[in-house]
């Protein structure tokens, strides 16, 4: 049975859309609670719950007696148990980022890549390297690998700046779950040059192998999240 989002979550999503529609920037003030009540035609409790969700996600901050403002920089706290693409994650939190394709190639996989993606002999692998920037600062550097057979179109006819999850779905391949590992790293010299970032900065590396519902590996990804702007959380329970 499919669950429908609560009213507070719906209002939160409408607030994100409003932020994008009005072109609000970090440091800009949000409309008042009364203005939002009139605009969305919902009660004050739903508005406050939605605003609280945005505060918890680091999108806005409350200033006592002076309303709520967009945070001065992206602060992206991601639940590690929720599987979402980077494009969707940024958009859902009201952040825009320039997505630059650094490289897109199809080649014979090495032994490690073939084992990761369980590729048959003769199957090529596509390597997609991209960089997301926020206000000219490197925010997220990613390398994705997937079987060439998943995308039937010529590579030069595909818009690689959008959501890779959505692209795979359009070609009949739905990501159902991922096996993930996260660790703190610094960029090597080549990577630092690629993203025009100092080598001594801290990055959070999320390594994932994404599978369809039948367990077939569809995508291997390495996402380097700038440590000053990203954090991950999870719920831990005792047995």
Q: Give the Cα separation of 103 and 160 in Å (integer).
A: 10
What size, in residues, is the chain?
239
Report pLDDT for 2.
41
Q: Hey, what are 126's tokens?
A: 């596509």
Rg, C-alpha atoms of the chain: 20
With contact defined as beta carbons under 8 Å apart, do 199 and 176 qualify? Answer: no
pLDDT in 10s for each residue of the chain, 239 residues:
445 568 888 898 899 888 888 888 888 899 999 999 999 999 999 999 999 888 877 788 888 888 899 875 545 555 566 676 666 666 655 556 688 999 999 999 999 999 999 999 899 999 999 998 877 778 889 999 999 999 999 999 999 998 899 999 999 999 999 998 999 999 999 998 888 887 778 899 999 999 999 999 999 999 998 887 776 666 566 65
Q: Give the Cα separation of 38 and 32 in Å (integer).
A: 10
pTM: 0.65
Report pLDDT for 86.
67
With contact defined as beta carbons under 8 Å apart, do 19 and 54 qualify? Answer: no
Report pLDDT for 137.
78
Paired residues of 143 in beta bridges? 129, 222
């Amino acid at each position: 049975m499919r669950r429908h989002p609560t009213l507070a979550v719906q209002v939160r999503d409408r607030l994100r859309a409003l932020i994008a529609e009005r072109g609000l920037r970090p440091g800009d003030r949000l409309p008042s609670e009364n203005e939002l009540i009139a605009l969305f035609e919902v009660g004050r409790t739903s508005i406050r719950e939605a605003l609280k969700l945005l505060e918890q996600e680091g999108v806005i901050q409350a200033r006592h007696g002076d309303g709520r403002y967009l945070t001065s920089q992206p602060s992206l706290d991601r639940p590690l148990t929720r599987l979402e693409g980077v494009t969707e994650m940024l958009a859902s939190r009201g952040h825009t980022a320039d997505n630059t394709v650094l490289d897109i190639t199809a080649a014979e996989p090495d032994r490690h890549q073939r084992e990761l993606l369980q590729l048959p002999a003769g199957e090529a692998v596509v390597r997609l390297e991209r960089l997301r920037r926020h206000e000219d600062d490197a925010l997220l550097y990613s390398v994705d690998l997937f079987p060439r057979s998943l995308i039937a179109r010529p590579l030069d006819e595909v818009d690689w700046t959008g959501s890779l999850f959505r692209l795979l779905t359009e070609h009949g391949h739905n990501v159902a779950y991922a096996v993930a590992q996260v660790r703190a790293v610094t960029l090597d010299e080549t990577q630092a040059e690629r993203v025009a970032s100092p080598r001594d900065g801290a990055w959070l590396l999320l390594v994932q192998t994404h599978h369809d519902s039948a367990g077939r590996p569809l995508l291997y990804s390495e996402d380097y999240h700038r440590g000053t702007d990203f954090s991950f959380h999870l719920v831990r329970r005792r047995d």
